[in-house]
Amino acid sequence: MIAKKSLTLTVLAALALNPLVSFAASKMPLATGTGGAVATISEPATKAAMQILNQGGNAIDAAVAAAATLGVTDPFSCGIGGGGFMLIYLAKENRFISIDHRETAPRNFSPAVFLQEGKEIEFDTAVSSGMSVGVPGTVRGWHEALARYGTMNFKQVLAPAITTAEQGFAVSANFHHFNVGSEKKFAQFNSSSALYLKDGKALPVGMLFKNPDMGKAYRELAIGGVNAFYSGKMAAAILHTVNQPPTVNGVQVRPGQMTKADLLDYEVRLRLPIHSTYRGYDIYGLALPSSGGITIAEALNILEGYDTKSMSREQVEHLYLEASRLAFADRNAYLADPEFVDVPVTGILSKEFASERRKQISMQHASALNNPAAAGDPYPFQNDQSIPLRPLPVKTVLREESKHTTHLTVSDKDGNIVAYTYTIEDWGGNGMVVPGYGFLLNNEMTDFDFSGPHPNVPEAGKRPRSSMSPTIVLKNGKPAFTVGSPGGATIITTVLQTIVNHLDLGMSMDKALAAPRMSERNGSTTQVEPNFVGSPQALRLAPFGHQWKLADELDWEIGAASAITFNADGTVTAASEPVRHGVGSVLVQKPAH
Ligand code: GLU
């Protein structure tokens, strides 16, 4: 257990670095009404989406508008230099589709790309390099979303983001905080220091920040469409940055080897989402290469075997942690890009496999400490003759993963829903602003396992395993709620815990989001937020013997979620973070009075 004194200090330190209260004043994290609804982490992004809805755009148009604005206001976690996963519910057709626009490994990749003399290179060295950059998927993802399911074009939906980039906004405490986190990284590159540092330090709170180069990039997309990104001048600038990083004098980083063809050939994948059931609800989540949907579904299948309604909160939370541990053991062992490896998805998702996994759980005690759970054997439940050969037993490894991205959600008056998580991976991505275009490049390739044998090792054309988990839940065929979060691998536990809080513990969605988060990912300890340790809830959970690990002082938040619930009376409630990440921002089209 962590001493109360260190908790207090940690909370104070975290609050000192995140003066949330002052920043929170103008933002609204909860609203109910009718018509469309928007929840994001950024007020300008939420307003951008609402502007598009009010102009007659649908949820897909509005989601792209919000995402583009987030690329300006939250540039350290997302932008057109990265990729993501968009989950769409089309109300009229009662159908789901997901647009996988995950970054893809360039052609030069091999399983040894992050090895030097047979050893894994340092994680941070890999991050700040040209090698960590995957071919960005965001612009093609937005293009496909608009062309197939939207009603507007780039020019219309990028307009609010262009205004925000060109007119600027005051640097918030939250922006500053994440800027501080990337100072060292940005100091290595001329273009990044020029945009995001002042005298070598993060931009001060209150400063008017403008990004005219980002405005220019969006203007080129508005005129030239998707091709303006994947070919021509912007493509050349991206390749130049990746292959000859714009380092300051005296700094050397590893260059990448991305080619024109890598950019030109980038494709999104339209994938059927993962569908599972939980206590009468239908849960739709992301399919591979995101591990989110499968891992959440497995954990819920495990939990479904317990009568949680008759249990105390701490008993349910103990089971949540144990179910998450087991689901992560399987995730860490088996899940990777399905175009490169045969993953036993059917087996992992089967209710019978969940029953088998449940046998590992004690109602009274946390699993053996310092002893990660072994992966289960889903093959007997796979019922798939196309996977005749069982692979060798796999190790379940919890590897280093960064955790900074953004999640937004929009619904429109016709009932369409978009749940969208997108990212450039680490805070500030790989640290390189593309000169002249004002956006940061991703370091998504560090989501691969650096060494094998493992299904998630790097390969040319492969997409690294993700944790992004935009989720939409139906009850009796009608939308009940949607939720998602940033946070690297903690995305999965944040979404899972929010679902458990809402459905099993009966919390309203805003309370489910506000509750202190615990993230168990089959490591030796369970990561918790500072306000959990020493709380009455933590004391009640203590007899189960879980081993807590306090989140990093500079980085204490687990996730920054957004949700919309669809109420029985026909109203919608948009809910975003009430405390974390500088407080989220929501709007509904016609607020209830
Ligand atoms: N790279 C992470 C993933 O794909 C997301 C980035 C983050 O949340 O930090 O799961």
pLDDT tens digits, 164-218: 999 999 999 999 999 999 999 999 999 999 999 999 999 999 999 999 999 999 9
Read off the pLDDT of residues 250-285 as tens digits, 9 standing for 90 and up: 999 999 999 999 999 999 999 999 999 999 999 999
Cβ atoms 52, 142 nearer than 8 A: no
Cα–Cα nearest to 135, from 247, 268, 286? 268
- Give the whole-angstrom CA distance, residue 518 versus residue 192: 34
Ligand 1, atom 3, residue with closest C-alpha: 466
Residue length of the chain:
593
pLDDT at position 22: 33
pLDDT at position 395: 67
Q: What is the CATH number of domain 9-269+400-591?
A: 3.60.20.40
Q: Is 402 in the pocket of ligand 1 (CB under 6 A)?
A: yes
What pTM value is reported for the model?
Answer: 0.94
Is beta strand 115-116 parallel, antiparallel or unpaired with respect to 30-40? Answer: unpaired
E strand or H helix that includes residue 589: strand 585-591
Cβ count near 12 (within 10 Å): 12
Cα–Cα nearest to 20, from 39, 51, 41? 41
Whether omega for the bond prior to residue 464 falls within 30 degrees of 0, making it cis, is no
pLDDT at position 15: 35
Name every residue whose Cβ is closer than 8 Å to that of residue 20 and which is 6 or more positions away in sequence: 173, 579, 582, 583
With the most atoms of ligand 1 within 8 angstroms of its CB, the residue from 77, 402, 443, 490 to mutate is 402
CA 545 to the chain's CA centroid:
30
Ligand 1, atom 5, residue with closest C-alpha: 488
Q: 143 has which bridge partners?
A: none
Ligand 1, atom 8, residue with closest C-alpha: 488
Cα–Cα nearest to 326, from 287, 294, 362, 372? 372
Read off the pLDDT of residues 217-241 as tens digits, 9 standing for 90 and up: 999 999 999 999 999 999 999 999 9
Give the distance (Å) from ligand 1 centre to CA of residue 289: 12
Q: Is 423 in the pocket of ligand 1 (CB under 6 A)?
A: yes
| pLDDT exceeds 60 at position 449 | yes
* Residue 134 token pair: 């995957």
Among residues 10, 396, 405, 494, the one annotated as catalytic is 405
Euclidean distance between the first and the last CA atom of the chain, given in angstroms as a whole number: 46
Give the distance (Å) from ligand 1 centre to CA of residue 5: 32
Give the distance (Å) from ligand 1 centre to CA of residue 516: 21
- Give the whole-angstrom CA distance, residue 139 versus residue 487: 22
Give the distance (Å) from ligand 1 centre to CA of residue 404: 6
Cβ count near 296 (within 10 Å): 28
Q: How confident is the model at residue 402 (pLDDT cuts 50, 70, 90)?
A: low
DSSP string, 94-114: TEEEEEEE--B--TT--TTTT
Q: Is 487 in the pocket of ligand 1 (CB under 6 A)?
A: yes
In 416-530, where do the E strands start and end? 417-423, 471-475, 478-484, 518-519, 526-528
Q: Is 446 in the pocket of ligand 1 (CB under 6 A)?
A: no
Give the distance (Å) from ligand 1 centre to CA of residue 323: 22
- Which atom, in ligand 1's list, is nearest to the CA of 488? 8
Ligand 1, atom 1, residue with closest C-alpha: 425
Ligand 1, atom 4, residue with closest C-alpha: 466
Q: How confident is the model at residue 21 (pLDDT cuts 50, 70, 90)?
A: very low
pLDDT at position 189: 98
Residue 409 is a catalytic residue: no
- Give the whole-angstrom CA distance, residue 275 versus residue 297: 8
Read off the pLDDT of residues 456-498 as tens digits, 9 standing for 90 and up: 999 999 999 999 999 999 999 999 999 999 999 999 999 999 9
Degrees (nearest 5) of the Cα angle 141, 496, 81? Answer: 25
When the pLDDT of each residue in the chain is averaged and rounded to a whole number, the result is 92
